[in-house]
Structure formats: structure tokens, C-alpha cells
Structure 1
Amino acid sequence: MTIRLGFIKALEGYKLRERQLILAIALDTLPATKKVMLRITKLSVLTPFFIALAYFEGWSLLPILLAAGLSYPLLTRPIEILFAQSNLAKAVEQFKSEQT
């Protein structure tokens, strides 16, 4: 199973917005301990990245912050998908039941 949201087998046949909703449902149904682990993992990935930003000053910081803001989902989405894998089947069923 690859990390990209578009290539997850359980989400084939759904539009992008529907895939995002299903992933959100899967993340919402995570147990509290896994949610904490997810946040710690994301924080541990992002911390060195944002500490490196402390070396820039003045206006040179603006493009770096813009790039950091745009790359945030690129860094965190694969981690979220990895944690949500176990709940995707249940999330798809819940999404289908909400649509009817």
C-alpha cells in the first residue's frame, strides 16, 4: 500500500473530497492512545524543520515561512494515512451509510 491518498486501494472509486472525508472519519475513530502517538510523531517530524527556521531573520524569513506552510501537508499527510490504515474499512462503511 502506497502512501499517496490517491492510490489507497480502499479508497478507489471515490472523488478526492470523498477520500478526504473518509480519511477524516478514519482519523476520528482512532483510539485516544493512537491519536496521541500520531500527534507526537507529527511533532517529532516537524520540530527539526521549524527549528531550522530560527536561523533566518528579517524579510528573508517570509519566503521560507511560505514554503514551510505549503510543505506542511506534504510532511504530515503520509503520517496520518499510515495511522488511519487500520480504520479505513470501517470509515468507508460509515461514509457509505451517511450518504444514504
Structure 2
Amino acid sequence: MYFQSKQIPTLENLSHRERNQAIYDALQSMSPWKQVLIKLLKILFLFPLFWLLTDFHGWISVVGLIVTVLLYPIVTRPIELTLAAGEIKKQHP
């Protein structure tokens, strides 16, 4: 699993902007099923958190929202990078 784009061997010599473009292109060229899978994984991550937040009232709900917003990219980015790395390897053997 990749946590940063510079950990992907094919992209390690590229600039930050070029790595992000390559990842974007790889994610766009994925099959529709993989794109749906990524979106479902994101929803499966967010839904329970927001469901739990409905039980909180007052300032604790604000703290919960902030934690959710901060955790979202930390959890979803490695999933995107790992799936994109497989697609990049197919495009650049």
C-alpha cells in the first residue's frame, strides 16, 4: 500500500505536479468497475462516521466533523494510490 505518490516506483523521479497528473490520468483510465469500487469504499468509510455524528449534540458534533474531515484523505488516499499504481504499471511496463 502506498501512502505517498513518491513511493510509487514508476513515479519517484517525477515532480509533484507530474505525479499528481499521472495518478489522475490512471484513475480516469480505470475500468468503470474499479471507479465504482473506489467510490463505494469512500462511502463505506464516511457513512458510519456521519451516522455516529447524528447522535452527538453541541460542540462534540463539531469536533466529530473536524476529525472526519481530517481522517477522510488519510484513509482514502492510500486506496486511490494503490489502485492507481496498478493502472500506471499497466500503462508503463
Task: Give TM-score scaled by structure 1 length.
Answer: 0.75
Counterpart in the other structure of 1:4: 3
Cα distance in 2 between the residues matched to 1:38 and 1:60? 30
Cα distance in 2 between the residues matched to 1:62 and 1:48? 16
Cα distance in 2 between the residues matched to 1:51 and 1:43? 12
Secondary structure at 1:56 match in 2: coil
Matching residue's letter, 2:25: I
**What value does the CA root-mean-square deviation take over the aligned residues?**
1.8
Count of aligned pairs between the two proteins: 90
**What 5-or-longer segments of structure 1 have no aligned partner?**
93-100
Counterpart in the other structure of 1:83: 83
Q: How does 1:3-82 map to 2 (within 5 A)?
A: 3-5=2-4, 6-82=6-82
Report the Cα offset of residue 59 of structure 1: 2.5
**What 5-or-longer segments of structure 2 have no aligned partner?**
none
Higher helix share: 1
Task: Give TM-score scaled by structure 2 length.
Answer: 0.79
